[in-house]
Structure 1
Amino acid sequence: MAQHFLLSAAARTLSLKSIYQGGEEKAYSTFCKVRWADNDGKPVCPRCGCVEAYSITTRRKFKCAGCYHQYSVTSGTIFASRKMSFTDLLAAICIFVNSAKGISALQLSRDLDCQHKTAFVLSHKLREAMSAEVHAQTVGESVEIDGAYFGGHIRPANVKEDRVDRRLARHQTGKRRVVIALRQRGGRTLTLVGRSEAEGVEIAKRVADPNSTFYADEAAHWDALHGTFTTHRINHSEAYSDLAGTNTNQVESFFSRLRRMVAGQHHHVSPQYLHQYADHAAWLEDHRRMDNGTLAHRVAGLAMAHPVSRVWKGYWQR
């Protein structure tokens, strides 16, 4: 029996040991090469695009020879105004991609020996950069669609007489959300968060090619897909697959990863940030066949290409 790729040595091309053995200078050089890959790691002014610069070695900064603007390798990126060392930043990315089901901010803070709030914001910055990879993308050909509900758990009262019917709307917490996923077979996974799974119909019309073939379960709200797309349905009360290609197994596989991420790692996810956790799980699912060195380089490239976060910059300072 052939060995699974993720169990092979080919899947391990980067380790924390190699990052810390390389030291701060090598980590800094890595970020320069990722940021200015088109210029062989040499600085390019983010303001005017000039490639001539004076190096301010005492502060790891550059001064543009054209407009005299001072900048660093992280200026204008999601890591702007960072205080963490480049070695720790690179290690954080490595830990982030090595965690197949995600990693909690508490565990990351212990691994990096930093405050919980630092790890929390850094994790969300990385998720924001990762989700930008599929921004404005569409899906086509064969697409599976489904939804899964998260949050809003109501703890039952201790005494039986005090317990309420938790299915009734008046007893809901208002925090329950549904993650709607559209997964192209052999392609990408797009996720959106809403209050009802039925919202997925309009989302499909917006992000899917009109010539796509959709695969959905027996839920009644997916009936509306038949008017726009070629749609096949599978009744899960009878079978999970008809053995002729009609199933939602791949999108269910994504939800399996997301549920384990939420329940096993984070334990609680705010509905305000559920979309970022969903995007994180989708990114891991779509790139699960890549070695961890390639994954880390990819995340670093996305982070260095992403502008300053308008949500997470100065988060704790409000």
Structure 2
Amino acid sequence: MAQHFLLSAKARTLSLAKVFKMGEDAAYGVFCDMRWPETDGEPICPRCGCTESYHISTRRKFKCVACHHQFSVTSGTIFASRKLSYTDLLAAIVLFVNGAKGISALQASRDLDVQYKTAFVLFHKLREAMQREFAEAKLEGVVEIDGGYFGGYVKPENRKADRKDRRLSLNRSGKRQCVVIMRERKGRSLPFVVRNEGDAVPFVRDHAANLATIYADEGSGWDALHAGWDTRRVNHSVAFMDEGVCTNQAESYFSRLRRMETGTHHHIAGPYLYAYAGEAAWREDNRRVDNGGQAMKLTFGAMASRQSRTWAGYWQR
């Protein structure tokens, strides 16, 4: 039997020990390389685009020769106004990608010796950077679609006679939301959050290529897709696969997301469900990439992202 990828040596190319051994200067160089790859880490003014600048070594800042604007390697990025050292910031990214089912902010706050608030906001900034990969995705080939409901837990009554069927909508809390996943057989995934599964049809129309073949289950919400695509269905009450049609890749995604919810985070608030759904999709798409490659990919995406409108000054509202 073949060995699981995460158990192989190829999956381990970067560790916390290596990050802390490289030191602050080397970690700073990594962020420069990720911010300005086209100039091999040499600074480019974010205001005017000039490639010539003075180095202010005492503060790790630069001053543009043309417009005299002072900036740092994280200015204007999702890490703007950061207070963590570059070593700790890189270590946090490594911790984040090493969790196959995610990592809680509480655990990271202990590992990095920072406040829970710091780890919470930092990880959500990383999740926001992950969302960049899904912005303009247009899925092609065979695309599996499925929906799963998360949140809105209703505690059962103590006595059996008082218990109600929580599967019925009238006995729910009203906070339950549906995560719909579109997933290519090639590997790309696209999640989004809606109220009910059928509400996802407009999103599918926007992000499915015209010649794509859609695999879906027997849910009545997907009936509208037959008008625009070659849509094939499988009735899960009869079989999990019918003549090669299945949604196993979508179910694999939900398996990861549910384990993140129940085993790692324990509770995902409704307004943040989209962020955790995006994180699970990113982890599924990069599950065969070594942890060093994942860390560098996420760092590059974070340095290419603009300053967060949601998480900058989050605790100050």
Determine if the TM-score, normalized by the shorter chain, exceeds 0.5. yes
| DSSP 3-state at the match of 2:270 | coil
Shift in CA distance, 270/99, structure 1 to aligned 2, threshold 3 Å? same
In the alignment, which residue of structure 2 is the partner of 1:224? 224
Gapped regions of structure 2 (runs ≥ 5): none
- 1:286 maps onto 2:279 in alignment: no
In the alignment, which residue of structure 1 is the partner of 2:252? 253
In the alignment, which residue of structure 2 is the partner of 1:299? 298
Q: Identity rate of aligned residues, in percent?
A: 59
Gapped regions of structure 1 (runs ≥ 5): none
Pairs aligned (count): 317
- 1:60 maps onto 2:60 in alignment: yes
Equivalent residues in 2 for 1:105-120, closer than 5 Å: 105-120=105-120
Q: Distance in 2 between matches of 1:169 and 1:187?
A: 34
Equivalent residues in 2 for 1:133-144, closer than 5 Å: 133-144=133-144
In the alignment, which residue of structure 2 is the partner of 1:99? 99
**Letter matched to residue 80 of structure 1:** A
Q: Distance in 1 between matches of 2:146 and 2:300?
A: 31
Q: Distance in 2 between matches of 1:169 and 1:142?
A: 33
**1:258 Cα deviation after fit:** 0.5
Q: Distance in 1 between matches of 2:199 and 2:100?
A: 29
Greater CA drift, 134-143 or 75-84: 134-143
Equivalent residues in 2 for 1:145-294, closer than 5 Å: 145-160=145-160, 162-242=162-242, 244-294=243-293
Map Cα deviations across residues 44-67 of structure 1 (whole Å, 9 max, x no partner): 100011111111111111100110
Q: Distance in 1 between matches of 2:167 and 2:143?
A: 31
**Letter matched to residue 293 of structure 1:** G
**Letter matched to residue 313 of structure 1:** A
In the alignment, which residue of structure 2 is the partner of 1:39? 39
Q: Distance in 2 between matches of 1:151 and 1:245?
A: 32
**1:160 Cα deviation after fit:** 4.3
**Letter matched to residue 127 of structure 2:** R
In the alignment, which residue of structure 2 is the partner of 1:51? 51
Q: Using structure 2 for the length normalisation, give the TM-score.
A: 0.97
**1:110 Cα deviation after fit:** 0.8
Shift in CA distance, 159/238, structure 1 to aligned 2, threshold 3 Å? closer
Map Cα deviations across residues 261-317 of structure 1 (whole Å, 9 max, x no partner): 111100000110100100000000001111111110000000000000000000000
Q: Distance in 2 between matches of 1:165 and 1:277?
A: 28
**1:93 Cα deviation after fit:** 0.6
Map Cα deviations across residues 47-103 of structure 1 (whole Å, 9 max, x no partner): 011111111111111100110000000000000000011001100110111111001
Q: Distance in 2 between matches of 1:80 and 1:252?
A: 37
**1:174 Cα deviation after fit:** 1.9
**Letter matched to residue 131 of structure 1:** Q
Q: Distance in 2 between matches of 1:147 and 1:187?
A: 18
In the alignment, which residue of structure 2 is the partner of 1:313? 312
**Letter matched to residue 303 of structure 1:** A
- 1:129 maps onto 2:117 in alignment: no
In the alignment, which residue of structure 1 is the partner of 2:81? 81
Map Cα deviations across residues 134-161 of structure 1 (whole Å, 9 max, x no partner): 2111111110000000011111222445
| DSSP 3-state at the match of 1:87 | helix
CA RMSD of aligned residues (A): 1.3
**Letter matched to residue 223 of structure 1:** D
**1:3 Cα deviation after fit:** 2.8
